[in-house]
Amino acid sequence: MRLRRITTLASAGALAVSSLVLVAGGVSSAATTTITFAYDFPGPDFELTPVVVAQDLGYFKAVGLNVNVSFPPDTSSTTKLLTTNSAQIGFLTTTDMGVAVNAGAPVLSVANYSMRNNWALFAKPGTKLTPGNLTAALKGKRIFSYGDTWTESMLPFVLRYAKLKASQVKIVTAPTGNDLTDLLAGKVDISTSTTNYEIPGFQGSGTKGTEVQLLGTKVGAPDIPVWVYAVTRSYAASHGATVKAFLAAVKKATVWAAANPVKAAADFSKAYPKSGYTNAYNLEGWRLTIPFLTNAHHQYFVQTSAQWSTLANALKSIHLINTVPTPTTYYTNRFLP
Amino acid sequence: MSGFVRPAAPRRRDRATPESVTRKVARNVGVPLLSIVLLLALWQGIVVYFHVAPYIAPRPRQAVLAVTQNWSTLWPLVLGTIRETVYGFIAGAALGIGLGVIMAKVPVLQRLVYPVLVLSQAVPIIALAAPLVLILGFSVTPKVVIVAWIVFFPVTVNVLDGLSHVDQDLVNLARVYGAPRWRTFIQIEIPATATPLFSGLKIGATYAVTGAIIGELAASDGSSLALYQEHANTNLNTAAVYGTTMLMTVIGISWFLLVVGAEVFATPWQRRTVARRWRRGDRSEDEPAR
């Protein structure tokens, strides 16, 4: 009798423990989905701020996500990380999306990161660089390029605006170089970059005066978004809820970071203290990014067929892609929060 | 009976049987070619078996086609890379030999300079590329300097090593016969350095193309093979990336083989136990001198 009671108690205890383990395991696996977010650059910088904020403020956790951030070995590998399922959500330039789709990569843009084009030409303080004197400012001059698809796509528009052929300027391509250093050292006459990266760099260099900038959109470059969030088509089809949850958390974080730039930059600096950038650089960079995050209707993330159509035609005109597909080949808004 | 001792006739199995040309070619060319063919077959097999997408990894044929179909564009770029490699190699080798000789002859200088040389090689060459461009501009010069930077060190170390291991008995013998220092250097020390020198040159030749590519990536005004590859990579043209990689490899191997050829020509004693006699009436080079 006593033995039977002990056996019963032991069985009940074992059952309770195993149930607890099962329930706990079930709860944790059901509650959290782990995904990898692939950045577009081999190291972290301030454009990662929304993702950092979403992690830090628990926005990802609130929607049941555990997001790991990975960095590609070079600026051209994010698409490959997505298509090999090494990452589930990626951060790409829209031109990278264009060439990826052209190469047959099954990627799909699910949201804009920035809404407008902040790519620009830069010159040393005191230089005259305006739409009116563009031809004189560029003819025979050395123009810096990182050799990326964005610069490759935008420069022909600027040259066309200036009524110049590519042979009438000297394009210096340096994928591992630094446009600002080469500009300040007098090795090039004009550098190209986006304003949010260039201006904080110039301020940090300690150079007197203000760097002269001319937005590409003022001299013929199309005003289209530069960066997007992207997934593979198969992932979008099978994990739509996860994509939607990710975008919901990131949007909340983006809105918060735009309203609280100082705290957001501090969050980024705290998350990546060894990024190689100062907090001042991160703050200035993020401040300069904020105005480009929304469209004319103060909307975040929303993509349009017009932006993708413009981009595809631009890429086709400079022979970076063979055909212009329908805009919906590139994007969908159905996961937007 | 005179004191002359006639060498014993070699036993039958010791006699060198002349190897047929076909077998020689098969061994020296066929086997390496077979290994390359096997490597390409393995590559093809992996891509086909795992259904690897072309933008992740192309098939070997696609990579070769990416080169052949764009040969008119690639050819000038290949020539540019070869030019940077050759100029840099010659400059690095000359610097390496010169430094090696001077350091061997002036021990104080060796103690002074050697740590700096070691330090120079500890500097990551990629980190060096950008400052070099800032100082020397975007022309061919920084690329040549980078290649020379890579090449000179193994040459210097090997020349130094060769000169410090010259047979002192030979040097003493030359002194006894009253040979001036320059003659001892030319006839004894330089030949003694040849083998280690070529070891250094072969190491340098292997890395020279890498130096040229790093230089091209740092900055180029106009186009270059490395930039062509970078653009292909950016545009997910993986076949062109693999194709240009194959081209770079071919340049590197060709340059290495050229140095090996120069070594064969310059150091005949490594393949013959008896020195070639150039006198008229010489019947056999393997016949012992009387």
Q: What is the mean pLDDT of residues A303-323?
A: 93
Please judge whether A103 and B54 are an interchain contact, meaning their C-beta atoms are less than 8 angstroms apart: yes
* Minimum mean pLDDT range among A170-179, A269-278, A295-304: A170-179
Q: What is the pLDDT of residue A18?
A: 47
Tell me, yes or no, if B81 comes closer than 8 A to chain A by beta carbon. no
Please judge whether A182 and B134 are an interchain contact, meaning their C-beta atoms are less than 8 angstroms apart: yes
Tell me, yes or no, if B40 comes closer than 8 A to chain A by beta carbon. no
Residues A138 and A187 in one domain: yes
The tally of domains found in chain A comes to 2
Residues A321 and A305 in one domain: yes
Amino acid present at A22: L
- What is d(CA A28, CA A331) in angstroms, rounded to the nearest whole number? 33
Residue that is last in its domain, among A203, A219, A235: A219
Residues A312 and A324 in one domain: yes
Residues A233 and A318 in one domain: yes
Q: What is the pLDDT of residue B16?
A: 52
Q: Is residue A24 part of a domain?
A: no
Residues A195 and A322 in one domain: no
Residues A37 and A131 in one domain: no
pLDDT: is B137 or A130 the higher one?
A130
Among A residues 117-176, those touching chain B with beta carbons less than 8 Å apart:
142, 147-149, 152, 170-176
Residue of A187, A232, A233 to mutate, testing the B interface (most B Cβ within 10 Å of its Cβ): A187
Tell me, yes or no, if B236 comes closer than 8 A to chain A by beta carbon. yes
Q: What is the pLDDT of residue B12?
A: 52
SS3 per residue for A239-285:
CHHHHHHHHHHHHHHHHHHHHCHHHHHHHHHHHCCCCCCCHHHHHHH
Nearest CA in chain B to A170: B221
> What is the DSSP secondary structure assignment for residue A323, as one 8-state letter?
S
Nearest by CB to B235, from A99, A170, A182: name it. Answer: A99
Cβ contacts (< 8 Å) between B217 and chain A: which residues?
A: 174-176
Q: Is residue A8 part of a domain?
A: no
At B105-149, the pLDDT tens digits run 999 999 999 999 999 889 888 888 888 888 888 889 999 999 999
Tell me, yes or no, if B129 comes closer than 8 A to chain A by beta carbon. yes
Residues A201 and A132 in one domain: yes
Residue A130 Cα to chain centre, angstroms: 29
CB A66 within 8 A of CB A34: yes
Residue of B235, B237, B238, B241 to mutate, testing the A interface (most A Cβ within 10 Å of its Cβ): B235
pLDDT band at B274 (very low <50, low <70, confident <90, very high): low
Strand bridging mode A65-70 / A33-38: parallel
Q: Which of A224, A227, A229 is nearest to A306 (CA)?
A: A224
Q: What is the mean pLDDT of residues B192-197?
A: 91
Q: What is the pLDDT of residue B134?
A: 82
Residue of B133, B143, B231, B236 to mutate, testing the A interface (most A Cβ within 10 Å of its Cβ): B236
Please judge whether A172 and B217 are an interchain contact, meaning their C-beta atoms are less than 8 angstroms apart: no
At B64-98, the pLDDT tens digits run 999 999 999 999 999 999 999 999 999 999 999 99
CB A252 within 8 A of CB A245: no
Q: Is residue A242 part of a domain?
A: yes
Among A residues 295-334, those touching chain B with beta carbons less than 8 Å apart:
320
What is the rounded average pLDDT for all residues in chain A? 90
Q: Which residues contact B198 (CB under 8 A, 6 or more apart)?
A: B259, B262, B263, B266, B267
- What is d(CA A98, CA A101) in angstroms, rounded to the nearest whole number? 5
Tell me, yes or no, if B219 comes closer than 8 A to chain A by beta carbon. yes
User: Does residue A19 surpass a pLDDT of 90?
Assistant: no
Nearest by CB to A177, from B133, B234, B236: name it. Answer: B133
pLDDT band at B9 (very low <50, low <70, confident <90, very high): low
> For chain B, what are the domain ranges?
26-57, 70-268
Q: Is residue A205 part of a domain?
A: yes
Please judge whether B138 and A83 are an interchain contact, meaning their C-beta atoms are less than 8 angstroms apart: no
Residue that is last in its domain, among A219, A235, A266: A219
Please judge whether A99 and B230 are an interchain contact, meaning their C-beta atoms are less than 8 angstroms apart: no
Cβ contacts (< 8 Å) between A152 and chain B: which residues?
A: 231, 234
Q: Is residue A198 part of a domain?
A: yes
Cβ contacts (< 8 Å) between A170 and chain B: which residues?
A: 221-222
At B37-59, the pLDDT tens digits run 999 999 999 999 999 998 899 99
pLDDT band at B8 (very low <50, low <70, confident <90, very high): low
- What is d(CA B171, CA A206) in angstroms, rounded to the nearest whole number? 62
Residues A231 and A315 in one domain: yes
Please judge whether B130 and A176 are an interchain contact, meaning their C-beta atoms are less than 8 angstroms apart: yes
Q: Which of A308, A304, A302 is nearest to A247 (CA)?
A: A302
Please judge whether B138 and A172 are an interchain contact, meaning their C-beta atoms are less than 8 angstroms apart: yes
User: Does residue A200 surpass a pLDDT of 70?
Assistant: yes
Instruction: Quickly list DSSP for B130-195.
Output: HHHHHHH-SSSHHHHHHHHHHHHHHHHHHHHHHHHTS-HHHHHHHHHTT--HHHHIIIIIHHHHHH
Q: Which CATH architecture has domain B70-268?
A: Orthogonal Bundle (1.10)
Residue that is last in its domain, among A200, A219, A238: A219
Residues A50 and A97 in one domain: yes
Tell me, yes or no, if B134 comes closer than 8 A to chain A by beta carbon. yes
The upper half-sphere exposure of residue B268, i.e. CA atoms within 13 Å in the direction of its Cβ, equals 6
Chain B nearest-CA distance from A130, in A, is 25
Which CB contacts under 8 angstroms, 24+ apart, belong to A162-166? A162/A134, A162/A135, A162/A138, A162/A219, A163/A135, A164/A135, A164/A138, A164/A139
Range of the structural domain that residue A82 is part of: 32-116+225-329
Residue of A141, A154, A173, A316 to mutate, testing the B interface (most B Cβ within 10 Å of its Cβ): A173
CATH number at residue A204: 3.40.190.10
Neighbours of A149 (CB within 10 A): 25
Specify the residue for token string 């770079």: B248
User: Does residue B288 surpass a pLDDT of 60?
Assistant: no
Q: Is residue A4 part of a domain?
A: no
pTM score, two decimals?
0.79
Q: Is residue A159 part of a domain?
A: yes
Nearest CA in chain B to A145: B219
pLDDT band at A147 (very low <50, low <70, confident <90, very high): confident
Residues A183 and A211 in one domain: yes
At A34-65, the pLDDT tens digits run 999 999 999 999 999 999 999 999 999 999 99
Nearest by CB to A76, from B137, B220, B234: name it. Answer: B234
Cα dihedral A124/A129/A135/A141 (nearest 10): 0
Cβ contacts (< 8 Å) between A102 and chain B: which residues?
A: 236
